[in-house]
Structure formats: structure tokens, C-alpha cells
Structure 1
Amino acid sequence: MKGRTLRGSISFLSAGLALLLSGCSNLDILNPKGSVGLAERDLIATSVWAMLIVVVPVIALTLLFAWRYRASNKSAEYRPKWVHSTGIEIAVWTIPTLIILFLAVLTWKSTHELDPYRPLESQVKPINVEVVALDWKWLFIYPDLGIASVNQLAIPVGTPVNFLITSDTVMNSFFIPQLGGQIYAMAGMQTRLHLIADEAGDYAGTSANFSGKGFSDMKFRTLAKSPEEFNAWVAKVRASSDTLSMDRYHAVSEPSEKDPVRYFSTVDPKLFHNIIARYNNGNVMDNMKDANCGPKG
């Protein structure tokens, strides 16, 4: 019963936040369609509830004190020599300490559970997607299928997706709000992200890191499809007459804005590796630990 009450409170708070933030462009984060996104939304709601335990009483007491000790209230007790209250001291130290401890445990637990490098547990074989951030578009390579697309990502519903992410330009941030958290795409480096879509749909994807004049249109669509529909999409891509060799890639990677969706029926199998290696004298930096930017998850 207690667990259901907590989940109900979290859902209620999320709905309230959605209403209050109805004018915000990233409202999708409060309407998750995957287990990772759902866990992140619940974490946000839980953190807000914890902080409101301090914020709401402080606001209420501020208004109460202003009313209680207003100049016109002659009945308020005047104690100019009052200097100490054991009860107040206990309250102002104990309550914040307990909240900090709660948030510390929550942070430790959620940091490990929601580590973007941590593979998702599933009986379904994951699909691998290599992501390259360009100026100002996204290139998605399916190494196991030998196909690629620009500004459109298709994934099967209920299937974990293992993303390998890099950039062939300035730093970007790969973000699908309804499926889960963002992670940086950096030239010469390979970061990782694991997501899953639990419901079929057409979800927005974007860069969450400013990257120049074409940044505002650096968007893509994520198509979460049934296995049959996904296979049909793969067949559609393979029917394309366009291919993505290293020479063709140089033309595709040229800066451009508002790029339409494009399909490539074949891809150089070493393309993703070569994009990273060109910045590292032929070596591939596998994660942020290699660049002294933090530990590997």
C-alpha cells in the first residue's frame, strides 16, 4: 500500500509539473515512453518532493512570522533578550541533515542504476547503433545491418539499443527526451548510451548542446516500431540507391542546415572507427576515462 501511495504521489507531482511547464519545449521528459526515461522522471519527482519538505515550511513560516509579528499586532510577545531554543536548534539541524542523507543515498543508488554505460537487462537481443554528430545533422549507422540514415533513427519496440556516440565536429549532446538522458558526443571519443522504447511512437531527438548557427534545426525523429514494421523500414533503407563510402561521407559531413531524411543502403564497415581515429593518430578512445574526463561506468 505504501509503495502504491508513493508511486501515486510521484505520478501526481509529474502531472502537476507537466501542467505548470506546458509552455516548455522539453516537456517530453515528463512523458517517458521507455523504462530509462520513466526511472529518470521518477527520480526528478522524488528529488522535488524531498526538497519541498524544506521549501514549503520555510515559505509558510516566513509568511506566518510576517503576519504574527507585524507592527500592528500588539499582542505578539516581545522578547528582546531571547537568544536560544534547544527545540529550534534540533529542528534546524536535524531536518536538513536527514534530507541531505536521503538525497545522498538516492544519488548513489540512482547514479549506478541509471549509469548510461550500463547495459539494459533484457531477454531480447539488443540492436547496435553508431551515432555521429555533424554540422548540423545526425548520422545513424547500423553496423550489424550495414545501413545508415540521416536525421531519422528507427528502433524496434521492446529491444534494448546500444548506442556508440561520437562527433565529427564540435561537442554536441545526443538527447531523446522521452526515452532517457542525454550524453555528450565529442570528436575523437566514443561515448555510450543504453535506451529502450516500451511503446511504439514517433519521438523527438535533438542536440542539447549549442554547436553553432544551425543548432536550432539539428533535430531528428526516433521511430519506435514493431519488429515487423522495423524490418520493413530496414528493407526500405536497403532499397536506396545511395551508399556511404568514405568518399561519399566527406560530402555528407559538409556543414548544412535543415537536412532532409536520407538513407544509405550500404556503409563502409570501418566508417565509425575511422571518424574517431582521425583525431587520435589512428587510435580509438573508447570512453571518457581515456580522455581524463571521468570514470567509465
Structure 2
Amino acid sequence: MRSMLSPKKRRGLTFAALSAVSMLMLSGCGSQIAVLHPEGPVAQKEFNLIVWSFVLMAFVGIVVFGLFAYMLIKYRASRPGIEKTYDPNIEGNTKLEVTWTVIPVLIVIALAIPTVQTTYALKDPPASAHDPIEVDVTSADWKWIFQYPAQHIETVNYLVIPAGVPVKFMLTSVGPMNTFWVPELGGMEFTMPGADLGLWLEADKPGVYLGRGANFSGKGFAHMQFNVYSKTQTQFNQWVSTVKSKYPALTMNEATYLVKHQGLSPIMTFSSYPAASVAQNQNTQMGM
């Protein structure tokens, strides 16, 4: 049976359907894009850089497509007298050559200056009235190990931090390299065997944020995720006290098994850990 819709209406409905599908895909079925929802000062600076880059590139795109449309209309073949005014030979045109050389240089400079400024600004901890804390992070096959040197406690596959307090993460790896990333709190940094790389992050308020490994590290890579629980300072102190009083200490044998065992580990909590646990297993992995 022939459709009652005209070809024009069918094309309109097809375009509308495709637009709806595209919008659904771009929206992620209602899920938010984490990097576009900063929840800390580090993430906010990086978000501002993303916005600036997007605005600049959008401006460039608008100008390019505007010029493209202008040329199509002005030099169309059907325009009366176009044969007499159109000259495709622009070789040796100094003004045009300077223009299309200078403009890309200016665009690169406009992107480079804020990028370099933001990169160097994030090397230092965010401004805060609170003293920063340190968390030592180790990626292993396939788990995340978090040690709190000042509190001398350890967690596996989850992280607790105080809100409004800068956190310095010292990152290393036992086994393959990976990437430590909490998108809503800031950018990522590598974890590599035998190296200690630093990263500053901070959460503005209490909440739960998803962290993940962003560097393919084997068959367990998909499970290299962890939750970051941001609590008030009082709640964080209470959590530390609870860990110290109710959870077991980590023995050296257990620590060795934890970092060497190539398998998934459940969420774990320890009231203390051997001081040389990670360093010793790093040296063992590297054959030192």
C-alpha cells in the first residue's frame, strides 16, 4: 500500500527521527558527563579550560562555514557575469598568505597560554583553610589499594576523603601501568611501577564520586573502578576511628598476596599496614 505522505513530509519525518536518535545518543539516555559537572576547585579550573577551548573552536567553525557559504553564494556558476569577475589564481597574494598563516598561529597561542597557566597552577594544592592530607595509591591486577600514611590505615577498592580539604595522591603501580582518574574532581595521572607521581584533588562538598582506571591493563581492566566517598571533616575523623577500632591489621603475608594476586578483590579495610608492604613488592616485581 502506497504511503499517503508526500516525499517532502517523509523526508521531514525521517530527519526528525534521526535528530531524535542523535539527541538521545548525545544525552547518554539521561546520564551526565562527569567532566562537565566539576565538584572541586581542580575540576573547576579544568572545566573552565574545556569551555574556553570549545568556545574558541566553535568560533573558528562558525567563521569557516560562514566563509564557505559566502563563497558558494558569491561565486556560484549561475550568477550573472561571474565569468568576468572570478579569478581562481591567487598565487602570490601576500595579504591572503599572511592571513592564513597568522590566524592559525593566533589560535594556537590562544589555546596554549591558558593551558600552560592551568597546568602549572594545578601543580600546587588548591587554596584551602585546612591542611592537606596524603593518600598513597597503588594500582595492581586488578584492584586499587589506598594507604593513609598519617592515619596508618588502608582500604582496597574504595576511598574516603574529607570535603573541602586538598588531598595529595602519590601514585604508583605494582604490575602494569594504569591511570588514576576521578572525573568529577579533576584530571588523571599515570600510575607506573617504580615511580611516585603526584596529583592534587579536592571535593567541594560531601558526596560519592566514581573513580576508574583509564589505561588498559588486561582482562580485569573493566573492573578497575572505585567509589570516592567525600565526608565532612567530623565524619572523616569518625570513620578513621571506626577503622582503627573495628577492622583487622594487614599482615605482610596478606599484603604480598594482595598485590601479587592477579584477580579481582572485594572492598576491604585494614586498621594498619606494614610500612614496607608496597615498596617491597614493587622491588620484587621489578626483580630488584
Q: TM-score by structure 1 length?
A: 0.79
The alpha-carbon distance between structure 1 residues 68 and 265, as it changes in their structure 2 partners (threshold 3 A), is same
**Equivalent residue for 2:239?**
233
Pair 275,63 (structure 1): closer, same or farther in 2 beyond 3 Å: farther
1:7-52, Cα deviation, whole Å (9 max, x unpaired): xxxxxxxxxxxx9853298811110110000000101111222233
Structure-1 residue corresponding to 2:109 = 101
Is the alpha carbon distance of 1:210 and 1:280 closer, same or farther for their aligned partners in structure 2, counting shifts above 3 Å? closer
1:75 offset after TM fit, Å? 5.2
| Residue 270 (structure 1) aligned to one of 250, 266, 276 | 276
- Farther off after superposition, 196-205 or 59-68: 59-68
The alpha carbon displacement at 1:209 in A equals 0.3
Q: Aligned AA for 2:141?
A: D
> Structure 2: which 5+ runs fail to align?
1-23
Contact kept? 2:256, 2:281, Cα under 8 Å: no
State the 1:199 CA deviation.
1.4
- In the alignment, which of 20, 30, 39 is matched to residue 33 of structure 1? 39
Q: Percent identity?
A: 36
- Alpha-carbon displacement from aligned partner over 1:75-131 (angstroms, at most 9, x marks no partner): 54642375365654454334333222222322332221123xx33333311111111
The within-5 A match list for 1:186-205 is: 186-205=192-211
Is 1:53 the counterpart of 2:59 in the alignment? yes
Shift of 1:195: 1.0
Q: Deviations over 1:39-71 (max 9, x none)?
A: 001011112222333222112222332233333
Range 234-243 or range 167-176, more displaced: 234-243
In structure 1, how many angstroms separate the alpha carbons of the residues matched to 2:198 and 2:32? 22
Structure 1 residue 267, shift from structure 2 partner:
0.8
CA–CA distance in structure 2, aligned partners of residues 181 and 44 of structure 1: 12
Q: How many residues align?
A: 262
CA–CA separation in structure 2 for the residues paired with 1:164 and 1:275: 17
Shift of 1:200: 1.1
- Counterpart of 1:191, as a letter, is L
Aligned equivalents of 1:232, 1:179: Cα separation in 2: 23
1:10 aligned residue: none
Is residue 22 of structure 1 aligned with residue 27 of structure 2? yes
Which ranges of 4 or more aligned residues in structure 1 deviate by more than 4 Å? 84-87, 279-282
Q: Equivalent residue of 1:188, what SS?
A: coil
Q: What are structure 1's unaligned runs of at least 5 residues?
A: 1-18, 283-297
> How many angstroms does 1:265 deviate by?
1.3
Q: Which amino acid aligns with 1:206?
A: R
- Residue type at the aligned position of 2:87: P
Q: Is the 8 A contact 1:176 1:205 kept in 2?
A: yes
- 1 CA distance for matches of 2:157 and 2:38? 21
Which shows bigger deviation, 265-274 or 137-146? 265-274
TM-score, scaled to structure 2: 0.81
Q: Residue 79 of structure 1 corresponds to which residue in structure 2?
A: 86
Distance, in Å, in 1 between the alignment partners of 2:222 and 2:286 is 30
Q: Which of the pair has more CA radius of gyration?
A: 2
Give the RMSD, CA atoms, in angstroms. 2.6
